[in-house]
Amino acid sequence: MPEVSLTLREMTSPQQLQALREEQIDMGLSSSPIAHPGVASLKVFREPLCAVVPLAHRLATRESIVVQELAGESFITYPPVEGVYFHGLITGVLHAIGVTVAETQHVTQTHSIIALVGVGLGVALVPQSASRVKFPDVAFIPLAGLEDVSADLLLAWRTHGNNPACAAAADCVREALRDPLWLA
Query: pLDDT of 11-52, one tens digit each?
Result: 888 888 888 888 899 898 888 777 778 888 888 888 999 999
Summarize the confidence of residues 160-176 as an average pLDDT: 82
pLDDT band at 130 (very low <50, low <70, confident <90, very high): very high
Measure the CA angle with vertex 23, ends 169 and 175; round to 5°.
15
Per-residue pLDDT reduced to its tens digit, 102-120: 988 999 999 999 999 999 9
Q: What is the pLDDT of residue 45?
A: 85
Q: What is the pLDDT of residue 184?
A: 44
Query: Percent of the chain at pLDDT above 70?
Result: 97
At residue 68, does pLDDT exceed 80?
Answer: yes
Query: Percent of the chain at pLDDT above 90?
Result: 47
Give domain 49-142's CATH number out of 3.40.190.10, 1.10.3720.10, 3.40.640.10, 3.30.70.150: 3.40.190.10
CA–CA dist 69, 58 (Å, integer): 10
CA–CA dist 112, 77 (Å, integer): 10
Q: Which of the given ranges, 4-8, 72-76, 103-107, has the highest pLDDT on average? A: 72-76
State whether CATH 3.40.190.10 applies to domain 13-45+151-183: yes
Strand pairing of 74-77 and 49-54?
unpaired
At residue 181, does pLDDT exceed 80?
Answer: no
CA–CA dist 102, 104 (Å, integer): 7
Task: Pinpoint the residues of the chain covered by CATH 3.40.190.10.
Answer: 13-45+151-183, 49-142
Helix, strand or coil, per DSSP, at residue 154:
strand
CA–CA dist 78, 20 (Å, integer): 22
pLDDT band at 59 (very low <50, low <70, confident <90, very high): very high
pLDDT band at 58 (very low <50, low <70, confident <90, very high): very high
Would you tell me how many other CB atoms lie within 10 Å of the CB of residue 97?
Answer: 13
